[in-house]
Amino acid sequence: MKIICVGRNYAAHARELGNEVPEDPVIFMKPSTALLQPGTTFKYPSFTRDLHYEAELVLRIGQHGREVEAKESLKLVDAITVGIDFTARDIQSTLKSKGLPWEKAKAWNQSAVIGKWHPMRSGNIQFAMKKNGEMVQQGDTGLMIFSFENLLAHISVYFSLEPGDLVFTGTPAGVGPCVVGDELEGFLEDQSVFTLKIHAK
C-alpha cells in the first residue's frame, strides 16, 4: 500500500501559502508507515514547533490501474473519506528554501490520518473540518484545480495504482497550526468521519 498525495489543488490554498497555482498536478508520496493506525494515539512530533493540519478528501483504490483514461479512472475507486495530511510547516519551509525534497516535513510516522470509509459518490462533494468545535476548513470538489478523474489519470501514468492505495486529493484554504490538546473533527458532507485529539509526545 502506498499513499499518494496531491499538493496545491485548490487555488485559494496555493495563494495562502504564497505558492504559484500549478499547471500540472503536484504529486508527492508518503510511505505506509505514515498512516495512523486505528486505535493509535496521535502524538505531537518532537521535531517540529509548527504542526499544521490539512484536511483532504481521500480516495481508496480498489482495482489495478496503469495509464488509465480520465473518463475511466473513477472505476478504480471503491471508497471515499476525509483525512488529514499533517505537515511540519517549519521543516517544510526550511527544505523548500534550500530546494530540497519535502519528505521529512510530510511523510513522517503517523502524518496521514483517515476517517471512516463511505461508498464513492458522484457529483460535487463537500467536506469540512472543525478544530475545537469551530469550522476551520471547508472544501468542495467543484473548486478543485484538477478533478478526481484527471488526478487519477495523471498519477497512473507515473505510478501503477493498486488495491489498497490511498490518494489524498488536496486541501482547501484554511490550513493552520495545531497544538497539544486540540481536537479535530472531519466531515464528509454532513457526516462526521473522524475525531482526533493531539496528545503530548
DSSP designation for 181: T
- Domain of residue 131, CATH code: 3.90.850.10
Into how many domains does the chain fold? 1
Query: pLDDT at residue 12 above 70?
Result: no
* The pLDDT of residue 60: 98
The fraction of the chain above a pLDDT of 70, given in percent, is 95
pLDDT band at 7 (very low <50, low <70, confident <90, very high): confident
Task: Look at residue 8 in the predicted model and tell me its pLDDT.
Answer: 85
Whether 107 shows a pLDDT value over 60: the answer reads yes
Q: Could you please report the per-residue DSSP string of 77-135?
A: EEEEEEEEE-EEHHHHHHHHHTT--SHHHHSSTT-EEE---B----S--EEEEEETTEE
Q: What is the chain's mean pLDDT, rounded? A: 94
pLDDT tens for residues 46-62? 999 999 999 999 999 99
Q: How far is CA 138 from the centre of its chain?
A: 14
Lowest mean pLDDT among 2-16, 28-42, 64-78, 142-156: 2-16
CA distance 161 to 7: 18
- For the chain, the residue count is 201
How many C-beta atoms surround the C-beta of residue 166 within 10 A? 22
Name the grid cell of 175: 490550513
Q: Which domain holds residue 176?
A: 3-199
pLDDT at residue 45 in the model? 97
Between residues 121 and 175, which one has the greater pLDDT? 175
Residue 15 has pLDDT above 90, yes or no: no
Give residue-wise pLDDT tens across range 136-165.
999 999 999 999 999 999 999 999 999 999
* Mean predicted confidence (pLDDT) in 38-45: 95
- Judge whether 17 and 50 are in contact, CB under 8 Å: no
| Residues 111/120, Cβ–Cβ less than 8 Å | no
H/E stretch holding 155 reads helix 148-158
Alpha carbon 1 to chain centroid, angstroms:
16
